[in-house]
């Protein structure tokens, strides 16, 4: 299991220079998790950089696990912050 941070998620986006190297890390782990707070932070950062859609696809593609109830709360926080 590996817990992923906002900076790692941002680095995984295709526009980042080290995306290929960092992408191998989650693939090598059997479970990738993220805390609700980190997910909110990542969504806020991604929205500000104009890559929120790409980040959501990345999170779904890697299969990052976060409590489903918490995900709705995190999305609400991110939307409120971005407004």
pLDDT of residue 48: 93
Cβ partners under 8 Å of residue 4, min gap 6: 26, 32, 33, 34, 38, 64
pLDDT of residue 25: 61
Contact yes or no for 3/34 (Cβ under 8 A):
yes
* CATH code for the domain of 60: 3.40.50.1010
Q: Report angle CA 65, 70, 72 to the nearest 5 degrees.
A: 105
Strands (E), 1-83: 2-3, 32-33
* Spatial distance between the Cα atoms of 64 and 72, rounded to a whole number of angstroms: 15
User: By residue range, what is the domain housing residue 27?
Assistant: 2-82
Domain count, the chain: 1
For residue range 55-73, what is the model confidence (pLDDT) as tens digits? 988 888 778 888 666 677 7
């Amino acid at each position: 299991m590996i817990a992923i941070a906002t900076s790692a998620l941002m680095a995984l986006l295709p526009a980042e220079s080290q995306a290929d190297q960092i992408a191998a890390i989650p693939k090598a782990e059997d479970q990738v998790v993220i805390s609700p707070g980190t997910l909110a932070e990542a969504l806020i950062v991604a929205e500000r950089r104009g890559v929120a859609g790409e980040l959501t696809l990345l999170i779904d593609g890697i299969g990052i696990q976060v409590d489903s109830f918490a995900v709705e709360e995190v999305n609400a926080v991110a939307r409120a912050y971005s407004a």
